[in-house]
Structure 1
Amino acid sequence: MSDRDNRMRWTEEDAVHDVRWQSEKGLPPPKKVVIADDTLTADTAYRLASEGSAFLWRGDYQNAKQLLQALARRAERPVKRNRKKIASQAKLNPDAVNAIEPKAVFNQHRQAQAQRARILDAILIPLLANHTIPLRRAPDATKACLEVFGNRADDYVLSLRELLGVISAHEWRKKGVVIPSLKEGAQRLFPHYGVFSPLRGEYVELVAMAPLPPALKAKSLAFDIGIGTGVLAAVLAQRGIQRIIGTDQDPRALDCATANMQQLGLGQQVEILNADLFPPEKAALIVCNPPWLPARPSSPIERAIYDPDSAMLKSFLSQLKEHLLPEGEGWLILSDLAEHLQLRSRDQLLSWIAEAGLAVIEKMDARPNHPKVSDASDPLHQARKAEVTSLWRLATV
């Protein structure tokens, strides 16, 4: 998006305004802007947002948050109606409902999510160049916005949802996330905005438990491909691997991992490198936790979940052999959720492994324990209930 396109324009009190548009999701600036305040009702806002209008908020900040909650309730109504319809059909004809392809359910779910996001992103908040919010009862979000947007020379506008995400990420960054697999006294990692937080501990535990390859005795070097927060590199370092190189291409991930390694006292042991997958060396152990679902991400943070056409997964597998030392191993950490959603088959995965000149030494499995596993109202509940996260120990043939 060019700087010219990255501007939001509207007319207010007979004057044309032109302000920088900020969207971490990469959304274009809204074309229809309505000036809104505390007099805007939720029903009217929902109707206008459904028709494509956005609301530049001039009222009380806390009232804007309440309006967002009201819009969320209204956006959920069609989803609830659809769930009731499916439940009713299941009583009348269970076979017909069970015959619905999981892939179709997944696509419908994503479409519903996208529509909901368009409506909830309609409330826009103005910010001054110093990141203060010129609204009544607005919080002090200057530190949070400075962490994400840096120093600004001009005023800007962004959606309330994105602003709340920035503020929430700031709190996570202050408090940190407890990682039970790390040694006591060094169990917190501090995720940055836009970097996927390691809240699902089962895959971290697999890396903490898997037997280390014999090649590490000759050369104690490991790669963490797509380092993110640095959680897997930290686990490997605490397991005694002398040198670890973590790679990523996302500047926020690189900054986040660097800060976390310094915080944990691992800065000398773990090197952070801006690279597309592999460093220009060979290692005894190469670990990768690629995005699990072959679909297109709708925002930068979703790149940790969605991998269009399994591009990163296939690239990792196809290049792994040439970067492994003799007797070295590649650890692929992957959920089989895509298989239950019929987005990718097990046979496809095994064929990619074989075509890359690799063999499976062992597959270690763990069941996820996140809240969605037990949420029967989730459209993807059946797939999530069957999901298994695996660590595939791969070696060259």
Structure 2
Amino acid sequence: MLIKSNQYLQWQEGESLHKARWLSQSNHAPPKDIVIIDDTTTANEAYRLANAGTSMLWRGDYHNARQLIQALQRRIDRAEQRKIEKAAKKAAKAAASSKSTTDSEDLPSLFHKNRLAQSQRSRLLGRLLLQFDANYQLNLRRAPQVSEACVAAFGEMNESCVMAFRDLQGALGAAQWRKKGVPVEALGVSVHPHYGVFAPTRQEYVQLLLDAPLPDNHDIAYDIGIGTGLLAIVLAKRGIKQIIATDLNPRALECAEDNLNRLGISNVQLQQADLYPTEVPAANLIVCNPPWLPAKPSSPLEYAVYDANSAMLRGFLMGAKQRLAKNGEVWLILSDLAEHLKLRTREELLGWFEEAGLTVKYRLDTEPTHGKSQDTSDLLYAARSAEVTSLWCLQ
């Protein structure tokens, strides 16, 4: 579960003291300083309260709460834009002094500042709270029915609870993703992400998986970290007879099973495991698309993007050799964005290959197509625009 099940928060409302279960997608602690607000509260006042560390329990119209969130976002964006402009002026001054703004010291600093800004934004927006009755009944004017989406995201709830409006939006958005699915153009199918499972909106690597020549013997393959099941689907469509897929996240295994069943794929065995499966035959092919950036995740969903100290990547590499069948191959799908951000060097990566007893047979590359790689206003544009995603074939 992505929520803490044993935490409650209290607040004073009028003459009464209230208590409710606290739910947090990011596992934030229950807020202690809470005020009651409604339709009469201005966006400026809410922004001031949020910046002061005060959480706000909404008692007004549901759609007005949505508008308030949007107004808070605009104010946060303006404040962040002022910081960007200040940084740009500093960069221009440094350039005039013949100092590069993309040297090994600047890029990691920009990356961490960007992550800090995202975290602060999340905390500010997370200070607008909603209270629900049992079974996620939301008793606000013009409130939609949210019970089904909340049960899918957070599990059954038989008592009153409070969560951030943003967490409710996340649950509702996830319900739409799950219903509509994410088209995978290279395969002509859609995958349906569940709440808490990273949606495959970036799909450059799918064509790499389709283009890579299969090993001569490809009866058995492992998919390490299955997520939505996309890699396993590609392997199945390429004719792999038996696929053994793992994930530590039970939500991912449930999501993958759902997607495999939707497509009538029956030759994938799912196993909850930290990296490698147990009590299975050696693999002719091991495929993994690990988190690409060596940084500490700040929420459960970020585990698909950030890998503190490259622990998963290194663990995957160190365990591969002993699980490969004779003449077997490892297909590692990895972006080099960490290298452009100076968070990891190519020499370190190649050193880990060598340490794991693996050599590079070949590498297939593709350039990014996502929007951030084209956004010149992004502080990390220099790194994002240079990014290359590779399929490393190791043996």
Please state which band the TM-score falls in when normalised by the shorter chain.
over 0.9
1:271 and 2:294 correspond: no
Question: Match for residue 327 of structure 2?
Answer: 327
Q: 1:97 to 1:34 in 2, by over 3 A?
A: farther
For residue 86 of structure 1, report the CA deviation from its aligned partner: 2.9
TM-score scaled to structure 1, two decimals?
0.95
Q: 1:308 to 1:53 in 2, by over 3 A?
A: same
What is the rounded CA distance, in whole Å, between the counterparts of 1:319 and 1:91 in structure 2? 47
Q: Of 94, 109, 117, which aligns to 1:104?
A: 109
What is the rounded CA distance, in whole Å, between the counterparts of 2:379 and 2:36 in structure 1? 36
What is the rounded CA distance, in whole Å, between the counterparts of 2:4 and 2:232 in structure 1? 37
> The residue matched to 2:136 in structure 1 has which SS?
coil
Residues 93-117 of structure 1: CA deviation (Å, up to 9, x unaligned):
4134625610000011111111111
What is the rounded CA distance, in whole Å, between the counterparts of 1:201 and 1:148 in structure 2? 25
What is the rounded CA distance, in whole Å, between the counterparts of 1:252 and 1:381 in structure 2? 33
Q: Percent identity?
A: 50
What is the rounded CA distance, in whole Å, between the counterparts of 2:142 and 2:375 in structure 1? 36
For residue 132 of structure 1, report the CA deviation from its aligned partner: 1.9
Question: Match for residue 211 of structure 1?
Answer: 213
Q: 8 Å contact 1:181–1:204 — kept in the other structure?
A: yes
Alignment: residue pair count: 387
What is the rounded CA distance, in whole Å, between the counterparts of 2:308 and 2:92 in structure 1? 36
Aligned residue runs from structure 1 range 134-153, under 5 A: 134-153=139-158
Question: Match for residue 251 of structure 2?
Answer: 252
For residue 14 of structure 1, report the CA deviation from its aligned partner: 1.3
Aligned residue runs from structure 1 range 1-397, under 5 A: 4=6, 6-94=7-95, 95-96=98-99, 98=101, 99=103, 101-182=106-187, 184=188, 187-216=189-218, 220-266=219-265, 268-280=266-278, 281=280, 282-395=282-395
Q: 1:148 to 1:93 in 2, by over 3 A?
A: closer
Structure 2 runs not aligned, ≥5 long: none
Bigger drift between 141-150 and 257-266 goes to 141-150
Residues 55-110 of structure 1: CA deviation (Å, up to 9, x unaligned):
11000111111111111111122321122223334444413462561000001111
What is the rounded CA distance, in whole Å, between the counterparts of 1:90 and 1:300 in structure 2? 34
Q: 8 Å contact 2:107–2:341 — kept in the other structure?
A: yes
Bigger drift between 341-350 and 273-282 goes to 273-282
What is the rounded CA distance, in whole Å, between the counterparts of 2:87 and 2:16 in structure 1? 51
Q: 8 Å contact 1:172–1:191 — kept in the other structure?
A: yes
What is the rounded CA distance, in whole Å, between the counterparts of 1:360 and 1:114 in structure 2? 37
What is the rounded CA distance, in whole Å, between the counterparts of 1:248 and 1:221 in structure 2? 18
Structure 2 letter corresponding to 1:26: N
What is the rounded CA distance, in whole Å, between the counterparts of 1:36 and 1:348 in structure 2? 52
For residue 2 of structure 1, report the CA deviation from its aligned partner: 7.0
Structure 1 runs not aligned, ≥5 long: none
> The residue matched to 2:287 in structure 1 has which SS?
strand
Bigger drift between 349-358 and 100-109 goes to 100-109
Q: 8 Å contact 2:4–2:27 — kept in the other structure?
A: no
> The residue matched to 2:108 in structure 1 has which SS?
helix
What is the rounded CA distance, in whole Å, between the counterparts of 1:237 and 1:3 in structure 2? 38
> The residue matched to 1:284 in structure 2 has which SS?
strand
